[in-house]
Amino acid sequence: MSRDPSVWGEGYIGAYPPDQFALLELLTPYPEIWAPYYTLHKLLAGVLECYRRTGNKTALEIARGIGDWVYARLSAVAPERCAEMWDTYIAGEYGGMNGSLAELYMLTGEEKYFDAAAIFDNDAVFYGLYEGRDTIVNRHANQHIPQLVGALDEYEATEDEFYLRVAENFFDIVTAHHMYATGGVGRGERFFGEDRQAENIDSDKNCECCAAYNMMKLARGLYALDPERAEYMDYYERALVNHILPSQARTKKRHMHAGVTYMLPIGPGARREYSDDLNTFTCCHGTGMENHVKYGDSVAFVTEYVNLPVAFEYEDAALGIKLTLDADFPFPEAKLTLAGEGRYDVMLRVPAWAEDELCKSGGAHFASGRYVLIEHEAGARVTCPFSFPYVPRLEYLPDTVGGKRAAALMYGPFVMCARDRSKEFITLHIEGDAADCFTPSLNREAGAFSLTGLGHEFVPLYLIGDEPYHTYFLVE
């Protein structure tokens, strides 16, 4: 290990000498080397954020230093070697280096930073995705998802459609063929084969929190480019209420305040394990600290889109907009009020889970995608009460557990779980329509609801604390 900083190169910043970066270039496998680019990316993303939020010039200078160091280092490596390097397992877990360097390029206009970003383009993954092929089977999930978030930054920097296409196709492939009902993905930290979710349910070893965090970041980025594709916010909502919300401990202990999880288990009888204050600190405990500001993030995009049933108030005096959403989470009743001196329109997202019921009752007239248009005339006050109906339904996985179909029980946007310590799957004998097999019971004072039926009580995953639970059920 090199202990002489004078040979570490100009601009390098880190809590350890850069030997690991050099070893990566020699194709040294994980875990002989760990995740050097993961931490470097976090530092770069952090100082860029400092600069963007506060204009702090020192922060930009540090970011430039990192950019210069990375460019000097990797531009000296043959492109074929880089492609080979990025194709290895973990690969220094470089994640969103491409995105942060593209951002540095956009802030400074210096081409070499974009060149540095593009060095991280993962040929083995990107080219196939561009053609709509699934190139992520068996790959490490959180090593790759941020690369696609970064691809959106590269698209923003260059308007090269290649980057947009790979990100869109990745999102579509993951949500169609790799996702669980919670919005989580993977077993261990890896993706597995397409449409093999049921056979890969593995006690407490599914659905790493960082992966959901980054999938949400990707969904939000794609949504910003194509806001009328309601699927992006469908995913966001799903992961927010079923993965992010349950990932935080509901109680405090002496050495655990606001503990968060690494994996969000979906196996039968699994329990959530939380970080403590000082001694456990995985990647997910880092992103876990960021996760819980997401409740306010993406609720609405002013001035046009309202996406999530989370109460908010927004006022823009210059535009004459005053928007209020009174919501009663987790219940479906809400009221949107449009006021102010401006003339403007609002698009309200109708979630995918409510579409059929609304159409059956003749209550949805979609202006665009799955959005309902609400118009506001200058000076008027428009109140728009709405309630998307929660109906029990089963969401099946594409494959089976030992020949039996497996499903999650959904109620509105919520994954409903049974508290049960058995490590064997619970079998639900469904006769007729699943909606008729479960009876809702609402406790408005406690802000909670449950479903009962077929001998079990089911509650939203986030309401379960330390006790063992079942997320998936075999259905006969």
Interface residue list for Zn ion (CB under 5 A): 208, 210, 283-284
Question: b/e for 275-307, b at 16 or more Cβ within 10 A?
Answer: beeeebebbbbbbbeebeebeeebbbeeeebbb
Nearer to Zn ion, 148 or 354 (CB): 148
Nearer to Zn ion, 16 or 281 (CB): 281
**Minimal distance in Å, beta carbon 260 to Zn ion?**
10
Question: b/e for 88-124, b at 16 or more Cβ within 10 A?
Answer: bebbbbbbbbbbbbbbbbeeeeeebbbebbbbbbbee
Nearer to Zn ion, 283 or 300 (CB): 283
Nearer to Zn ion, 38 or 438 (CB): 38
Contact by Cβ (8 Å): 263, 206: yes
Q: How many CB atoms lie within 10 A of CB 352?
A: 16
Residues 175, 192: Cα–Cα separation, whole Å: 13
**Minimal distance in Å, beta carbon 265 to Zn ion?**
14
Residue written as token pair 């006769």: 431
195: left (phi over 0), alpha (psi -120 to 50) or beta: left
**Minimal distance in Å, beta carbon 284 to Zn ion?**
3
Q: Which whole-number Å values give the CA distances from 291 to 145, 189, 215, 246, 343, in the listed order? A: 16, 18, 12, 11, 35
Q: Which whole-number Å values give the CA distances from 37 to 42, 133, 234, 281, 329, in the listed order? A: 8, 27, 32, 18, 39
**Minimal distance in Å, beta carbon 287 to Zn ion?**
6
Nearer to Zn ion, 210 or 358 (CB): 210
Q: What is the CA angle 454-458-464, rounded to 5?
A: 150
**Minimal distance in Å, beta carbon 22 to Zn ion?**
26
How is residue 263 annotated by DSSP? B
Q: Which whole-number Å values give the CA distances from 409 to 60, 176, 304, in the listed order? A: 48, 18, 33
**Minimal distance in Å, beta carbon 91 to Zn ion?**
16
Nearer to Zn ion, 288 or 309 (CB): 288
Nearer to Zn ion, 168 or 208 (CB): 208
Phi and psi at residue 428, to the nearest 5°: -105, 125
Nearer to Zn ion, 67 or 146 (CB): 146
**Minimal distance in Å, beta carbon 397 to Zn ion?**
23
Residue closest to Zn ion when measured from CB atoms: 210
**Minimal distance in Å, beta carbon 210 to Zn ion?**
3
Residues 252, 420: Cα–Cα separation, whole Å: 23
**Minimal distance in Å, beta carbon 283 to Zn ion?**
3
**Minimal distance in Å, beta carbon 124 to Zn ion?**
22
Please give the distance of CA 186 from its chain centroid, rounded to a whole number.
Answer: 13
Residues 29, 33: Cα–Cα separation, whole Å: 6
Nearer to Zn ion, 283 or 327 (CB): 283
Nearer to Zn ion, 288 or 460 (CB): 288
What residue type is assigned to position 267 of the chain? G
